[in-house]
A = this chain, B = another copy of it.
Amino acid sequence: MNDALRGLERQLIHPGTKGLALQQPLRQNEIAALGLNVLDGRLSYPVAVLRQSTLDHNIAWMREFVERADALLAPHGKTTMSPQLFQAQLDAGAWAITLATVPQLRVAHRFGVKRVLLANQPVAMADIESLAALLREEADFHAWVLVDSSAGAARLNQVMQQMAPQRRLPVLVELGAQGGRSGVRGADAALELAREIHAASHLSLAGIEGYEGLWVGADRADDLRRVEDLLAQMVELTRRCDAQGLFDGEEILLSAGGSAYFDFVARAFAGLGDTSRPLRRVLRSGCYLTSDHGFYHGLQQEMRTRHDASFRHGLQPALEVWAMVQSRPEPGLALLTLGKRDASYDIDLPRPLSWHRPGETAPRPMRDTRIVKMNDQHAYLELPPEHPLRVGDLVATGISHPCTTFDKWPLMLLTDDHYRVTGAINTFF
């Protein structure tokens, strides 16, 4: 553990921190000693909790996956923006941490991450300068960035020349697809851009990148075709760049892989034969770490149907948000202390998993209930009129989309399998 991470452990947590009903400030490393248990009803609710054993399972599962795929993992840090989770991923062999923006990259750097993949083209001059300053001052800090336009490449080259002329910034060309997000449209344009980068005085062409995770629509067959198309084009582009001697580094990076199709990515990348120098296949999944009870769970189930028994014990949901029943004003309605400030709502609303009355033995499954609406600070739970749920009972919910739940919790509690609070992690959004 480095000094910055140790600093988090020692920092004061103030009353007002969600989930902990503190009366006095407390050092973060004193949380475990409070002897809290989510089921006791002695916390402030909502509270977001991460099950440590499930995190460990998912980390180990993904480590094994990338090893079998002869790939490297640069997990997308934007999902959690948590230095402690970055460290856990690095400790488990992650090659780098992926980030989406330069401010996120600076957070990772602040907490000791030495190798980052910026999975976007940085455009703000001040952002590029902030990155160049790190490269100038710290020889052991390494960053790779994406480029998808000549204008983008020119901005990077200009700042590097001015601020860090002793280093070349390694760049991956982002290949996009018509109707997609960023990324150069078409292999010929991408090849042209690769040539520009190769020729730029302060950039080096390090590899090829794409993001296949966008295609998750209603027509799954069409989605998969688009995914496979993009991956095939990336492989072909890598081959052509290599044949033309455009790669500048000692290795070639080939990177893709959200959390929906990393199995396809691994297979497609394995199809690239010999290259002039060692090939590094870099997967960037972020949501594998916690998975969820909604969108990513569904994608995982699909992935399992595509594979053999080795996928059976796949990724498991590690994140739950527990709320308390605040009112039951009508027989078929309960209001939970859970709102848009606490759980993701961009893909699905939270899903009730179980309920628990503090003092009783164990949570009971939550059947025939549904969260139908959320306000900023409330969830509307529809339930059968005869359901025994009452004011003060707890409801565990599963979320759909970790990224938009992590960003609502500056501090998240860790628990063991019995919901005993064993510690906390921080997020920096």
Instruction: Annotate A337-381 by CB proximity to B: 1 below 8 A, 0 otherwise.
Output: 100110001100000000000000000000000000001111010
Q: Is the CB of A100 within 8 A of B181?
A: no
Q: Which 6 A-B pairs have the closest CB atoms?
A: A21-B126, A16-B106, A16-B107, A182-B327, A15-B106, A151-B391
With CB as the reference atom, state the residue of chain B lying closest to A214. B375
Q: Which A15-69 residues sit within 8 Å CB-CB of chain B?
A: 15-19, 21-23, 41-45
Q: Is the CB of A104 within 8 A of B181?
A: no
- Selecting from A202-210, A300-308, A400-408, the interface stretch reads A400-408
Q: Is A162 an interface residue (CB 8 A)?
A: no
**Of listed A106, A325, A329, residue having the most chain B CB within 10 A:** A329
A380 CA to B180 CA in the complex, in Å? 10
Can you add 16 more A-B contacts, CB < 8 Å, to A21-B124, A182-B326?
Answer: A16-B104, A16-B110, A16-B428, A21-B130, A23-B130, A44-B101, A101-B337, A149-B328, A149-B329, A151-B392, A155-B391, A182-B327, A185-B330, A340-B404, A341-B403, A376-B403
Q: Is the CB of B16 within 8 A of A183?
A: no
A133 CA to B181 CA in the complex, in Å? 52
Q: Is A291 an interface residue (CB 8 A)?
A: no
Q: Is A88 an interface residue (CB 8 A)?
A: no
| B residues near A100, Cβ cutoff 8 Å | 376-377
Instruction: Annotate A314-331 by CB proximity to B: 1 below 8 A, 0 otherwise.
Output: 000000000011111110
Sampled A-B contacts (21; CB under 8 Å): A14-B106, A18-B101, A18-B103, A18-B429, A21-B127, A21-B130, A23-B129, A41-B125, A44-B130, A100-B376, A123-B326, A151-B391, A151-B392, A155-B391, A176-B329, A178-B330, A181-B327, A181-B329, A181-B378, A185-B329, A341-B429
Q: Is the CB of B329 within 8 A of A21?
A: no
Q: Is the CB of A126 within 8 A of B182?
A: no
| B residues near A341, Cβ cutoff 8 Å | 78, 403, 407, 429
Q: Is the CB of B391 within 8 A of A327?
A: no
A78 CA to B342 CA in the complex, in Å? 13
Q: Is A410 an interface residue (CB 8 A)?
A: yes
User: Shortest beta-carbon distance, A200 to chain B, in Å?
Assistant: 16
Q: Which A274-321 residues sit within 8 Å CB-CB of chain B?
A: none
Q: Is A390 an interface residue (CB 8 A)?
A: yes
Interface size on A, residues (CB 8 A): 77
Q: Is the CB of A44 within 8 A of B335?
A: no
Q: Is A422 an interface residue (CB 8 A)?
A: no
With CB as the reference atom, state the residue of chain B lying closest to A122. B326
Q: Is the CB of A110 within 8 A of B328?
A: no
Q: Is A399 an interface residue (CB 8 A)?
A: no
| B residues near A172, Cβ cutoff 8 Å | none
| B residues near A110, Cβ cutoff 8 Å | 14-16
Q: Is A102 an interface residue (CB 8 A)?
A: yes
With CB as the reference atom, state the residue of chain B lying closest to A183. B329
A325 CA to B152 CA in the complex, in Å? 10
User: Shortest beta-carbon distance, A260 to chain B, in Å?
Assistant: 13
A345 CA to B345 CA in the complex, in Å? 10
Q: Is the CB of A127 within 8 A of B44?
A: yes
Q: Is the CB of A391 within 8 A of B103?
A: no
Please tell me which one of the listed residues B120, B214, B325, B378 contacts residue A326 in the complex, with CB atoms under 8 A apart: B120
